[in-house]
Amino acid sequence: MSGIDEITLNFSPASLTLLNAILAIVMFSIAIDLTPRDFDRLRRAPKPVIVGLVSQFLVLPALTFALVWVTAPRPSIALGLILVAACPGGNISNFITHRAGGNAALSVSMTAFATIGAIFMTPFNIALWGGLYPPTRAILQQTQIDPVQIAILVGLMLILPLVLGIALNQRRPALTARLRAPLQYLSMGIFAAFILLALGANWGFFLSFAGAVAGLVILHNALALGGGWVVATLTRLSPFDRRAITIETGIQNSGLGLVLIFAFFHGLGGMAVVAAFWGIWHAISGIALASVMARTEAAR
């Protein structure tokens, strides 16, 4: 099992460029659901958004560090878990929140604010929590990660498509209404196909090590969902808002995680397998949880 810390996935620069473009399209497909009024929600009803961001950027990374400390996985696996937890909410969280009967507007607002906050909070959390755990600190020192470089990449991958999507929705609402559903399904389909093709080039490696991370990823995702629910409950948010925060905390942008892993960690084995498995599992667990939640209507 020690080999997982030395193995890197076969991923060409052209493939990384393609992944960046796909992730930008996915973010654009989310952004065309947004208007400036969604950001105004923070001023009118700040508590649910603030609670959600605290759950996303403070509670989840802390829970992840506790999980890593207790289970002591291989260093590259541990850093993969920390990196995924440092990413903003995933691009299917809004869809899953809607399916769960939760506050989809809150979910959309959280996605928008978390995406902007990720410019600062993602590199900060990687450096902070990765630096506090000695085995992952060694990897960070070897790779000499520059938080500014990560912030620039996150900004280009997330903020630019977000701004363009909002602008298009504001100026051409009829066009975005026609584009919305087809573009979201198309972008997610392309993203899923790309991940499968990327794994196909490393299938033997993935099969060899997926079992080592499966249990940890499932436990990690359960902690994320549970942490979101507990934070929303302790702050006395309504069940309607609680569902949104639970799902937003438990659905991570593993696509961004993969971009960061290949751009800054050279596709380090354990990290890449963690992010790839997260990308598969959080969709399964999120949809399953939404199906259970949807059986009862959430009080507002």
pLDDT tens track, the chain, 300 positions: 445 555 555 555 666 677 777 777 777 877 777 777 766 766 777 899 999 999 999 999 999 999 999 999 999 999 999 999 999 987 678 778 888 988 887 887 888 888 888 888 999 999 999 999 999 998 888 876 677 778 887 777 777 887 888 888 888 888 888 887 787 677 767 766 766 666 666 666 666 777 778 899 999 999 999 999 999 999 999 999 999 999 999 999 887 888 888 878 877 778 888 888 888 888 889 989 999 998 888 777
CA-to-CA separations, 70 to 197, 216, 226, in angstroms, rounded? 34, 11, 18
Q: Is residue 143 part of a domain?
A: yes
Domain of 116: which CATH number?
Answer: 1.20.1530.20
Q: Is residue 208 part of a domain?
A: yes
Q: Is residue 300 part of a domain?
A: no
Q: Is residue 298 part of a domain?
A: no
CA-to-CA separations, 92 to 30, 87, 103, 191, 233, in angstroms, rounded? 9, 14, 14, 12, 23
Domain interval for residue 232: 2-293
Q: Is residue 299 part of a domain?
A: no
Q: How many domains does the chain have?
A: 1
pTM: 0.84
